Structures are given as structure tokens and as C-alpha cells.
Amino acid sequence: MSAVRKVLVQGGGIGGLTLAAALAQRGIEVDVAEATGSASVLGVGLNQPNNALAALEEIGVRGSCLESGFQFEPLGIWNTAGAEVATIPPPEGRYGQPSNNGIARPLYTSILRAAAEKAGANIITGVTIWEMTEDHDGIDVELATWTGKRTPALRQDGAASSRYDVVVGFDGLRSRVREHLFADAYTPTFTGFACWRIRMPRSADLTQVVFVMGKDVKAVLTPISDDEMYIALVTPEPGNPRHDPVDFVRLVHERMRDFTGPLAELRDSITDAGQINYTPLEHVTVREPWFRGRIAIAGDAAHTSPPHLAQGAAMAVEDAVTLAAALAEHSAVPAALDAWFARRRDRALFVADMSLALLKQEMGREMAPDEGQLVKLGIPGALTRLAQEAY
């Protein structure tokens, strides 16, 4: 018999919605407390590698993702003039083809949300946890109104508590559930780099993810549909500046100044700050168990890393489907959470550590000895490990 009848998930992003669908499909009652709702989904895309697609198949949405996205096999490497200099073949492994699916984030989120709601999950937007009181067989939770990242939540007059068997924080890099469990033991660290993502019409010759290494810039071009693509630029941003959006177009042009040929044409087509999203790259890695008692964290809340393997969201969906399975299979919560963490720890932390090491290597930064060992695997070696290992 399942260890749980009712679960609260804080965070209705990629991981939280996947967990909600996976639990509700097993007949477990789920509430999702999401701060901002669909307004928080950035209008940029991401790559779903085939391990993510396999996990998404467990909740029945792999087909919809493929229909909405753009599939490709090898990854390309171009020089700064836009000529192909090498390809990275898809790793052979257990997850089959396609190896990759580029997809727009808002579409991805709406597919997950529809699956969660169809299965019966209750998604509440504009709220966050106010208070959690845990005893030996459950947690009483009061929700409050979300008023923004930098302002305190608003307690609702006469709000009642609801009781849950488990609470899961899928609430991202600045997780409040993580803070509840570990106080300030884990706070995000700025890497010294940021990512500029620019959405634009797909150029006809972009049929796969392409990497371009320039001076002080790495560009990644990703097709996300027949019509659309995005460019992600990783650049050093010393001091973590808060750039004014009115300067975005100029700053992106400066960072792409060494690009010529078709890449210069793409650069010159960027004229609207509304196409551009800027994200400082931060990381946080929780190495001890991702739970205490009946409260757990997962996805970026437990392990956020730079996007260098394009596996962060993949790890979140893997965390989600394996957590739902563990909660359904075990008859006691501690055993379920223990088994889940033991299954997930090495794989998720490998992605976190490898991604950070790759960022440092590509940008010529000093690495610790264990990071130096990790990067010897290279991107092909890391992707092969992830493709061969079961999640």
C-alpha cells in the first residue's frame, strides 16, 4: 500500500507539474502551490534529451512534446564564421531516438499542466506556503498569498490549514522549502557568468543544436520548432551586474561582435529587447539527503547547475517520476524518501558537478582537481554516461 494519500507540491514548474501528474495518475491526491503561474514561464526554449523524454513517457506526454518540438540527433560545432567544424554523434544508450527534442518552454509547461489537471491534481496559483507544522504522521500547512520575490507573502485572514502526508519543494533555485529544511546552509552562488537567451525565427540551416566558441562567449543555437529557434550566449559578467533592459540589444551585439557570416546575420537581426532574456548563472548543490521527516526538495531546489549539459530540467522530471514511484511503492514515508534519494543522488550530482566543471573549462577558469578529472570525460563522455545509466 502507498505511503501517502495526499501530497503538497510547492512550485508548479517543470518538475512540480511532472510530480503532480505522476502522483495523481496513481490515485494520490495532490495540491500544487505555485507562486506566479504561467506568467513566470520565460518565453524561451530548452532541449529535452532522450532520458527526459523517457521520464515524460511515464506520465504520457512524450508524444505531445515531440509534436510540439523539433527533433535532432547529432550536435554540431561551428566556427565563429558559421562553418561546421565537427559533430558530436548521439550517445548510444537505453533511451532510443530521438536523442533530442527542442521545445518552447511555455508549450512544455502547458503540456505538463494539462496532464496534471487531467489526472486530477489541484493547481493553486498566486500562493506559497506560509507555515508548516509537522508531527509523526503528517504536516499541517497554511498557504498565503504570493506578493513577489522580494516582498513577504501575505497571510490570508481566517485561512485554514490543510493536512498532507508529504510536502515537496519543487520551488527552484531560491527554494523556500530548502530554506525551511536547512536554513542558510545552501545559498545560490553566482558563477561569474550569465546567459543571454534570444528567441528568433529558425534559420533553414539550423537543424540541430550547434555550439560556437568565441572569445569570451559560448553560443548555443537550438531549434525549437519548424519556425523558431533561440540563441543562448554564455558570457563572463564580472560583479553580477543588473543590466538595464534598454541596453540588452546593444550588449548582445557587443558580445557577438566576433561572429561573421551567417552568425553575424543572426546577430544583426536582433533588434528588440523583448526577444532577450538575461539570467545570471548561479549554482547550489545539496549533498546531504534532500529531505527531513516528511518534507523533501527536488529539481533545481536541490541541485541547480549551469546549463552546460542541457540536463537540469531532465533531472527535475527524473526526480519527479522516481519520487512518485517511491511514494507509491513503499508503505512508509521514511523508507520511500530514503530509497528515492539513494536512487537519484549520484546521477543528479554528477550532472551538477560536471556542468559546473565544463563552464569553468570552456571559459578558461581554474578548476579543482576533481573537476579536472571530470572534464576529461568531455561532453560526449558525460552524455554517454547519462544515456547508458538508468535513472
What is the rounded distance in angstroms from the CA atom of residue 333 to the CA atom of residue 295?
10
Q: Is 56 helix (H, G, I), strand (E, B) or coil?
A: helix
Nearest approach in angstroms of CB 17 to ligand FAD is 8
Q: Does 255 bind ligand FAD (CB under 6 A)?
A: no
Q: How far is CA 78 from the centre of its chain?
A: 26
Near ligand FAD by CB under 6 A, which window of 57-65, 74-82, 299-307, 380-388? Answer: 299-307
- What are the grid coordinates assigned to 145, written together? 498569498
Contact between 210 and ligand FAD per CB under 6 A = no
CA distances from 222 to 18, 45, 76, 80 (A): 23, 8, 10, 16
Closest CB to ligand FAD among residues 314, 357: 314
Contact status: 276 vs ligand FAD (CB under 6 A): no
**Binding residue for ligand FAD (CB under 6 A) from 4, 30, 33, 324?**
33
Q: Give which of 48, 30, 40, 3 is closest to 116, Cα–Cα.
A: 30
90 binds ligand FAD (CB under 6 A): no
Minimal distance, residue 225 CB to ligand FAD, in Å: 15
Among 279, 285, 361, 384, binds ligand FAD (CB under 6 A): 279
Omega within 30 of 0 (cis) for the link into 98: yes
Contact range with ligand FAD by CB under 6 A, out of 168-176, 253-261, 289-297, 380-388: 168-176
Distance from the first to the final alpha carbon of the chain: 23
Closer residue to ligand FAD in complex, CB, 82/169: 169
How many chain residues are in contact with ligand FAD, going by CB under 6 A? 33
Q: Are 369 and 302 in contact (CB under 8 A)?
A: no
Which residue reads 495526499 in cell numbers? Answer: 6
CB 307 within 8 A of CB 280: no
Binding interface with ligand FAD (CB under 6 A): 10-16, 33-36, 40, 46-47, 52, 128, 170-172, 176, 195, 197, 232, 279, 299-300, 307, 310-314, 316
